[in-house]
Homo-oligomer: A and B are copies of this chain.
Amino acid sequence: MEEMYSSRLRKANKSDLAELFKLAEQPEVISFAGGFPDPRWFLDEVEEVSRDILRHKRDIALQYGPVPGLTIVREFIAHRMTEQGMPVDIRNILLTSGSLQGLDLICRVFLDPGDTVIVEAPTYLGAISTFESYEVNIVSISCDNQGLMVDELEKYLDNAYVKPKLIYVIPTFQNPSGRVLSLERRKRLIDLCSKYNIPLIEDNAYGELRFSGEDLPTLMALDNTGMVIYLGTFSKIFSPGIRLGWVAASPDIIEKLVLFKQITDQSSSSLSQLLAYEAHKRGLIDMQIKITKEGLKLKRDLTINALKKYFGSTAEWTVSEGGFYTWVQIHKDINTFELLRAAVEDYKVAYVAGPSFFPDGRGQNCIRICYSMVKEDRIEEGIKRLAEIFLGR
């Protein structure tokens, strides 16, 4: 039967995500696993917004829409990005069914089997799986507390026999580390990509969720070469359930992405697009961002305090200034991946194991903690359980 299937299937790794979604459903488990927003941050007013859309714009909401997205929605996103220091217009915007679809479409446009792509180590596990399904070589470059080590990247590029086709980074409140790429490195990264003519993908799922410190300009804002491809999403600031994200890039790249958008899911949900548009118009997305940031800050503080209390000097962790995550490195020879089953079944606590975020299986003594979804009064107990597992306390 094997010869019935594609080469990409035979190489596909079953990632952790599906398992995680199942784990997160058990109410007795304290789950630091999936990167879900706390549903208490969703707004009551969405009910009213949807009612108005289906009353007054039903023929648009329930009908096929243009492949790149509804015009008013692309305009609103372009306008919003412009206000955020990224001057773009409608020709720069493609609506996608979540930002992971944006990455998938980029892969279709740029990648052939055997190509090389560069990612941060660690990086978003969904991106690793997507790249792997295109049968490419994934090269991961180390990070420190300033984010991607651009020196290392430069060394790699200067000596690379095969030029990488794409570089993928999450510069702000990185998944899984919560780190922020410094301004100086942002500039150098763009210069490097420009020098080597390599498209630079900026995944900015969390950038609007800063709860302390000062905003830095995005790569898209700093770029004047047109090499940056920006991935945005409504999943963390409004709703993941409506599956809506976008790509911002040069019109030339957008046109190519549209070709593949059309033959995958034709267009993203018109209803989802109008919901995001109307919610924004009524100030609801800004309101939800405010609520979300307050909620995240509180939960981050509780998480860090509990880590200090239960792990002390036996581990180190990042103190994120925004986003959903902290990255914990335990100073001990353990395998967090192998311990995960026991954690969930015996200790009733879930996390994502470090190796899931590396294409080459590193990070065995690390875990990602996502604090966004855990109730405030359960965070300390959850961290305590993690210490019991990893430290035997």
Contact = CB atoms under 8 A, between A and B. Distances in A.
B133 A242 contact: no
Interface in A31-47: 34, 36-37, 39, 42, 46-47
A278 to B, nearest CB: 13
A258 B265 CA distance: 16
A109 interface: yes
Contacts of A247: none
A298 interface: no
Copy tally for this chain in the complex stands at 2
A85 interface: no
Interface in A42-101: 42, 46-47, 50-51, 54-55, 58-67, 96-98, 100-101
A5 interface: yes
A177 interface: no
A224 interface: no
A46 B21 CA distance: 29
A259 B14 contact: yes
A22 B65 CA distance: 10
Nearest to A101: B265
Interface in A159-174: 165
A109 B268 contact: no
A110 B47 contact: no
A234 B165 CA distance: 38
Interface in A6-43: 6-9, 12, 14-15, 17-18, 21-22, 34, 36-37, 39, 42
B58 A17 contact: no
Interface stretch (A269-277, A344-352, A354-362, A377-385): A269-277
Contact of A259 (B12, B60, B64): B12
A269 B256 contact: no
B265 A100 contact: yes
A111 B46 CA distance: 42
Interface of A: 4-9, 12, 14-15, 17-18, 21-22, 34, 36-37, 39, 42, 46-47, 50-51, 54-55, 58-67, 96-98, 100-101, 104, 108-112, 126, 129-130, 133, 165, 197, 199, 235, 239-243, 256, 258-260, 262-272, 275
26 contacts: A4-B110, A5-B110, A8-B112, A15-B262, A15-B263, A17-B266, A18-B258, A18-B262, A21-B65, A21-B67, A39-B63, A42-B59, A42-B63, A61-B241, A62-B240, A64-B240, A65-B241, A97-B265, A98-B265, A100-B263, A100-B265, A108-B133, A126-B262, A241-B270, A269-B269, A271-B275
